[in-house]
Amino acid sequence: MENFAFYNPVKILFGKGQIANIATEIPADAKILITYGSGSIKINGVYEQVTASLSGHNFLEFGGIEANPHLETLLKAVELIRSEGIDFLLAVGGGSVVDGTKFIAAAVPFDGDPWDILAKQAPVKTAMPFGAILTLPATGSEMNTSSVITKWETQEKLFFSSPLVFPRFSILDPETTFSLPLRQVSNGIVDAFTHVMEQYLTYPVNAPLQDRMAESILKTLIEEGPKTFADLHNYEARANVMWCATMALNGLIGVGVPQDWATHMIGHELTALHGLDHAQTLAIVLPNLLTVRRDRKRQKLLQYAERVWGLVDSTEESRIDLAIAKTRDFFEVVGIRTKLSDYGVGLDVIPLITDRFEKRGFVALGEHQDVTPKVVEQILALCA
Ligand code: NZQ
Ligand code: ZN
């Protein structure tokens, strides 16, 4: 196992009715800005629960944060916060609202052009405090330090990470997810699954605990994910998927082990250029990345085949083939198509993506830092 430091201070309040407890988590004299997206929280009763819980507090609201949040919109919130003297943020929504709020929290006290936090990885020296009420289990943003922001003007989707943007607390009430469109339920399962794969499906470093935790999240998603579609109000299945998604990317399974993240980096370009949902890009790229990287990932692919999919018969090559096929089938079973052509995207996207990587002075991706633009091209060529 590699050396590591692990720190995660996020307080999680999990379960039915937990939104009622936010008032006690926010200082009584705080001037709060509630941030949210395109309005789902005003239809599904979450907004009413939040405002009821904050009835003794002073708050304003800022809506309109897009899926794949736009820099341009978030900067309007920054202005509002500065002019109104807001001192606490409350993100209510999915990963986009939480990520957008992390960026706002870092941008308000930032000296200079806040886009530099992403484009130049300018260090975040201080950030506003904020809490989150998560309504879409997928990204893990509710318990991690990352944020992914899109600059609409240039169609760039970049990330930053800082321990200063850990939420102070996150509320995870599975009942808030009952109103999700099925497409977003599917997205959440595939995103969480891929987060685990990015941290698990690399090469062995004798970290059996991390491996088994990763495998248990994958198996739980495989078992519980489909139950959420069979009965749309299955609280237990929603709760299990929600906790899987948080555990998939709160840092715990990734300590002391190599990590890949090439699928995500390629996927972000597909979203930036063609507007595909984040999880759709992952479902397209991951199985083909595993195919192209099968030799470099061989030992872990065999372990994955056996422990996650129960594949023990036949040759090693066919077990690997089948494990990759089962991964793709699982994504399709939970409702996400796995080819670029399913989304009307042609292979002419490949040079656009590899050019962008090269222009950014791109260090090769992957756990061995050897997924060069040439390898990205091979992976994307299989995605047709
Ligand atoms: O706009 P609102 O009203 O919030 O509606 C959203 C949006 O239309 C809707 N929705 C959310 N909760 C709902 C609901 N509709 C009905 N009922 C509910 N309970 O779902 C749509 C998608 O929401 P979004 O927040 O965009 O989805 P998700 O949580 O999948 O977040 C995706 C974003 O997170 C980034 C992605 O790149 C993408 O920008 N990621 C962030 C990560 C992180 N911070 O660690 C890691 C991930 O890999 C990912 O890159
Ligand atoms: Zn993701």
Q: Tell me, which fold does domain 11-177 have in CATH?
A: Rossmann fold (3.40.50)
Provide the pLDDT for residue 362. 73
- Confidence label for 360 from pLDDT (cuts 50, 70 and 90): confident
**Mean pLDDT of all residues belonging to the chain:** 97
Q: pLDDT confidence of 361, banded at 50, 70, 90?
A: confident
In this predicted model, what pLDDT tens digit does every residue of 76-119 receive, in sequence order?
A: 999 999 999 999 999 999 999 999 999 999 999 999 999 999 99
**Residue whose CB lies within 8 A of the most ligand 1 atoms, among 35, 92, 136, 157, for a mutation test:** 136
Would you state the pLDDT for residue 228?
Answer: 97
What residue owns the CA closest to ligand 1's atom 48?
A: 139
Q: Are 26 and 88 in contact (CB under 8 A)?
A: yes
High-pLDDT (> 70) share of the chain, %: 100
Radius of gyration of the chain (CA): 20
Q: According to the CATH classification, is domain 182-381 in 1.20.1090.10?
A: yes
Burial, 206: exposed, middle or buried (Cβ in 10 Å; 0-12, 13-18, 19+)? exposed
**How far away, in angstroms, is 278 Cα from ligand 1 center?**
9
Residues less than 5 Å from ion ligand 2, measured at CB? 191
User: In which residue ranges of the chain is CATH 3.40.50.1970 found?
Assistant: 11-177
Q: Residue with the nearest Cα to atom 28 of ligand 1?
A: 95
Yes or no: say if 171 and 271 are a contact pair by the CB < 8 Å rule: no
CA distance 329 to 323: 10
pLDDT value, residue 128: 98
What digits encode the pLDDT tens for the residues 341-351?
A: 999 999 999 99
Confidence of residue 363 (pLDDT cuts 50, 70, 90): confident
List where CATH 1.20.1090.10 sits in the chain. Answer: 182-381
What pLDDT, in 10s, does the model give residues 273-309?
Answer: 999 999 999 999 999 999 999 999 999 999 999 999 9
Write out the two tokens for 374: 């040439």
Cα separation, 63 vs 61, in Å, equals 6
Is the beta carbon of 148 within 6 A of some atom in ligand 1? yes
Tokens of 200: 């698990």
Confidence of residue 124 (pLDDT cuts 50, 70, 90): very high
Residue 17 has pLDDT above 90, yes or no: yes
Taking the centre of ligand 1 as the mean of its atom positions, its distance from the CA of residue 68, in whole angstroms, is 7
Encode pLDDT of 176-189 as tens digits: 999 999 999 999 99
Which tens digits make up the pLDDT trace of 316-337? Answer: 999 999 999 999 999 999 999 9
Atom number, ligand 1, closest to the C-alpha of residue 65: 1
